[in-house]
Chain A
């Protein structure tokens, strides 16, 4: 407890859990990191990751603190459709499965998503893509750091800034030790803990809650939550799906995984991870529906999930939620740190600034960028921004990259100018929609505009791209 605020866990227990899991991740990061003997090992785990670890790392990376904390917010504000809306983000993983096969075929020695944009469309599309990707990656990192800090404060009374600092410090340290080996290894354990925790919390809430009474309360007090035609919920369903496509298709987190897995494993691993991910937002989100019937005083909607779990399950629920969210945070922050530093190093450092690619120096630069990214995230987290705002503001940017990537991978007549215009116009109109209409339309409008530009341009393009140019 701090400043007279009642918390669900004793702060000492919160700190103990934080230290216990923090030390475990650092130890495992060091242990698996010993395998990394070359730069390729450090950045892409040797390019031979199997199905089990590949599936787990894709799933765990996609289960972010946002999944565990925002899925209940969606349920609380948009009802049953809201829960399904969040689950549609898994479609990004399903559709990335065939893309990953194509990526491995076209670029067997590729490193980053930036490599593809540079070789396929040239420098202007590449520059624009790097800006979009960096804005999104930093926004994602900050949203997770903020969520983690808020959770520590709500559950255990750990001051917000102390919580953020601890989480980021742990993730930076073990990513530094082991690179992609550490990230993928810890992701497996974290994904198992997340699945077990969500299953346990969800099952206990179902056992201890009268679902019929819950439904009846909603029908009387908040009928919009069970309204099959709630416009905002239906729009958010499609918006979230396209946001998910944009997030997965463009971000180096997924491209680096496609390059890290064995070529034949990548499509199966992404498809399976989508299947495993789909039920998680519903299982984690539905507990928020009981907030009204339980009389939970929700001051900050972002913390409704942990609050209800704590109310229904007491200390056990609070501990479980604490552990699940900590694992979700770590599994995504480490992936983003590794993949974004890879993107910055390969694209900005090597290709634009021309830094030395001598192995020992390259690895040193990579570690320096991981520390720099962690520090930047830490500074931005101090602003305590709204989770939804952080996440969805970057939605139209990434959604504008969906069609340039798909067209670039499959159509040899997709032109660089069309890709640039698609990303520029899609982002601009998507951001306009975000501020003028609402966040639940931004990604949808951005992807539709981007699609229209690409489709209209193809018949006018006379040049055909030689796929061999992607073999660098």
Chain B
């Protein structure tokens, strides 16, 4: 392995980072949906939608 390839190993984003980036983004999207629904019910019951 040349020096260039060794150097490249240190600048790669690790697999774990990519994996958790994807998992957390999907979790965030799911939580966002939940928050919207909860807020809607709260505003609707309180007569504060519009």
Residues of A within 8 A of B (CB): 35, 45-46, 48-53, 55-56, 59, 79-81, 83-84, 181, 188, 191-192, 195-196, 198-199, 202-203, 206, 211-212, 215, 219, 223, 226-229, 272, 275-276, 278-280, 282-283, 286
List the A side residues contacting B33 at CB < 8 Å: 192, 195-196, 199
**Contacts from B to A (Cβ < 8 Å):** 8, 11-13, 15, 17-19, 21-30, 32-33, 35-37, 39-40, 42-44, 48-50
- Which residues of A lie under 8 Å from residue B49 when comparing CB positions? 50, 52-53
What is the bound-complex CA distance between A49 and B49, given in angstroms? 6
Q: Which of B13, B28, B44 contacts A279 (CB 8 A)?
A: B28
B18 touches A279 (CB 8 A): no
Q: Write out the residue numbers on chain B whose beta carbons fall within 8 Å of the beta carbon of A280.
A: 25, 29
Cβ contact within 8 Å between B21 and A83: yes
The reply to whether B21 and A51 contact each other, CB–CB distance below 8 Å, is no
Contact indicator A211/B18 (Cβ below 8 Å)? yes
B50 contact set on A, CB distance < 8 A: 35, 45-46, 48-50, 53, 181
Residue pair B22, A206 in contact (C-beta under 8 Å):
yes
Given contacts A52-B40, A279-B32, contact A227 B13 (CB under 8 A): yes
Interfacial chain B residues near A59, Cβ < 8 Å: 32
Instruction: Please give me the residue from chain A that is nearest to B46 by CB atom.
Output: A50
How many Å lie between the Cα of A228 and that of B11 in the bound state? 5
**Chain B, residue nearest A219 (CB):** B12
Quick check: B25 and A192 within 8 Å, CB to CB?
Answer: no
- Docked pose: A332 CA to B35 CA in angstroms: 21
With beta carbons under 8 angstroms apart, the residue of A52, A55, A56, A203 that contacts B26 is: A203
Give how many A-B residue pairs fall within 8 Å (CB-CB). 112
Sample (20) of A-B pairs whose CB atoms are under 8 Å apart: A48-B50, A50-B48, A52-B43, A52-B44, A53-B50, A55-B36, A56-B40, A80-B17, A80-B21, A83-B21, A199-B26, A199-B33, A215-B19, A223-B8, A226-B13, A226-B18, A227-B8, A276-B32, A283-B28, A286-B25
In the complex where A45-B50, A51-B48, A219-B12 touch, is A275 in contact with B18 (Cβ < 8 A)?
no
Given contacts A52-B42, A81-B13, 13 further A-B contacts (CB under 8 A): A50-B43, A51-B43, A55-B35, A80-B17, A196-B33, A202-B22, A215-B19, A219-B12, A226-B18, A227-B8, A276-B35, A279-B27, A286-B21
The 8 closest A-B pairs by CB, nearest first: A279-B28, A282-B25, A52-B39, A276-B32, A279-B25, A195-B33, A50-B48, A52-B40
Chain A residues with Cβ below 8 Å from B26 are: 199, 202-203, 206, 279, 283
| B36–A278 touching, CB < 8 Å | no
List, in ascending order, chain B residues with CB within 8 A of A35's CB: 50
Q: Are B36 and A56 in contact (CB under 8 A)?
A: yes
Q: A368: shortest Cβ distance to chain B, in Å? A: 26
- Chain A residues near B43: list those with CB within 8 A: 50-53
Q: Are B22 and A278 in contact (CB under 8 A)?
A: no
Interface-centre pick from A49, A50, A56, A83 (highest chain B CB count, 10 A): A50
- CB of A215 within 8 A of CB of B48, answer no
The verdict on A282 contacting B15 (CB below 8 Å), with A35-B50, A276-B35 known, is no
| CA distance in complex: A45, B18 (Å) | 42
By the criterion CB–CB under 8 Å, are A202 and B40 in contact? no
Give A46 to B49 CA distance when docked, in angstroms: 12
Q: Is the CB of A211 within 8 A of B22?
A: yes
B40 touching A199 by the CB < 8 A rule? no
Query: In the bound complex, how far is the Cα of B28 from the Cα of A83, in angstroms?
Result: 15
Residues of B near A229 (CB, < 8 A) are 11
A191 and B22 form a contact (CB under 8 A): no
**When chains A and B are docked, how far (Å) is the Cα of A187 from the Cα of B16?**
36
Once A53-B43, A227-B13 are accepted as A-B contacts, the answer to whether A283 and B29 lie under 8 Å apart by CB is yes
For A55, the chain B residues whose CB sits under 8 A away are 35-36, 39
Instruction: Write out the residue numbers on chain A whose beta carbons fall within 8 Å of the beta carbon of B37.
Output: 192
